[in-house]
Amino acid sequence: MARDNRRVLKEYRTLLPFLRRYRMWYLGGVLALIVTSGAQLMIPQFIRHAIDMIAGGDFELNAIARTMLLMVATAFVIAMGRLGWRFFIHGASRRIEKELREKLFDHLLKLSPSFFGRNKTGDIMARATNDMDAVRMASGMAFVAFVDGLFLTIAILVILFTQQARLTLVTIIPLPLITIMILFFGRVIGKLFKGVQEGFSRLSEQSRETLTGIRVVQSFVREDYFRDRFMAANADYQAKNLQLVRIWGLFFPLVHFLAGITGLILLRFGGELVITGTLSPGEFVATMSYLEMLIWPMLGAGFTVNMFQRGGASLARINAILDEAPEITSAPDAVTSPETPSIEFRSLTFTYPGADTPALDDISFSLPAGGLLGILGHTGSGKSTLLNVLPRMIDPPEGTVFVGGRDVRQYRLDGLRRAFGFVPQDTFLFSDSLEHNVLFAVRSPDEAVRTAIVTRVGAVSAVERDIENFPNGWKTEIGERGITLSGGQKQRIAISRALAVDPSILVLDDALSAVDTETEEKILRALLPERKGKTTIVVSHRISTLQHADLIVVLSDGRVIQSGNHAELVDLDGYYREIFELQQLESRRARHE
pLDDT digits (tens, 9 = 90+) for 403-448: 999 999 999 998 999 999 988 877 888 888 888 888 888 887 888 8
Gap between the Cα atoms of 412 and 408, Å rounded: 9
pLDDT in tens, 509-555: 888 777 877 888 888 888 888 888 899 999 988 888 898 899 999 99
Which helix or strand (DSSP H or E) is residue 538 part of?
A: strand 535-539
Gap between the Cα atoms of 500 and 296, Å rounded: 63
If you average pLDDT over each of 48-62, 226-240, 247-261, 405-419, which comes out highest?
405-419
- Structure letter (DSSP) for residue 366: E
Chain center to CA of 455: 36
Q: In Å, what is the CA distance from 541 to each residue of 150, 372, 381, 545, 549? A: 72, 16, 12, 8, 13
Question: Is residue 4 one of the residues assigned to a domain?
Answer: no
The pLDDT of residue 319 is above 70: yes
Other CB atoms within 10 A of residue 236 CB: 15
pLDDT in tens, 86-106: 999 999 999 999 999 999 999
pLDDT of amino acid 229: 85
pLDDT of amino acid 7: 67
pLDDT band at 342 (very low <50, low <70, confident <90, very high): very high
- Same-domain pairing of 242 and 375: no
Which helix or strand (DSSP H or E) is residue 376 part of?
A: strand 372-377
Which helix or strand (DSSP H or E) is residue 345 part of?
A: strand 343-350
Average pLDDT on 310-316 reads 85
Does the predicted TM-score (pTM) go above 0.95? no
pLDDT in tens, 8-27: 677 888 898 999 999 999 99
Of 96-100, 249-253, 394-398, which gets the smallest average pLDDT? 249-253
Question: Is residue 515 one of the residues assigned to a domain?
Answer: yes
Of 356-360, 374-378, 581-585, which gets the smallest average pLDDT? 581-585
The pLDDT of residue 200 is above 50: yes
pLDDT of amino acid 59: 65
Gap between the Cα atoms of 372 and 95, Å rounded: 51
Percent of the chain with pLDDT over 70: 96
Which CATH number is 59's domain given? 1.20.1560.10
Range of the domain at 409: 338-419+507-525+535-593
In the chain, the number of structural domains is 3
The pLDDT of residue 357 is above 50: yes
pLDDT of amino acid 190: 66
Question: Is residue 79 one of the residues assigned to a domain?
Answer: yes
In the chain the first and final C-alpha atoms are separated, in Å, by 80
Residue 461 has phi, psi (to 5 degrees) of -85, 0
pLDDT of amino acid 1: 47
Question: Is residue 560 one of the residues assigned to a domain?
Answer: yes
Q: In Å, what is the CA distance from 164 to each residue of 17, 39, 453, 475, 551? A: 45, 21, 85, 78, 97
Gap between the Cα atoms of 552 and 365, Å rounded: 10
Average pLDDT on 106-126 reads 84
- Same-domain pairing of 484 and 511: no
Which is higher by pLDDT, 1 or 345? Answer: 345
Other CB atoms within 10 A of residue 299 CB: 19
- Same-domain pairing of 376 and 521: yes
Gap between the Cα atoms of 515 and 541, Å rounded: 13
Gap between the Cα atoms of 241 and 197, Å rounded: 9
- Same-domain pairing of 44 and 188: yes
pLDDT in tens, 475-499: 888 877 777 788 888 888 889 899 9
Average pLDDT on 28-35 reads 94
Other CB atoms within 10 A of residue 571 CB: 10
- Same-domain pairing of 317 and 439: no
pLDDT of amino acid 590: 64
Which CATH number is 463's domain given? 3.40.50.300
pLDDT of amino acid 183: 66
Gap between the Cα atoms of 396 and 411, Å rounded: 13
Other CB atoms within 10 A of residue 522 CB: 16
- Same-domain pairing of 197 and 182: yes
Q: In Å, what is the CA distance from 249 to each residue of 183, 245, 256, 373, 535? A: 16, 5, 12, 68, 67
pLDDT in tens, 563-578: 999 999 999 999 999 9
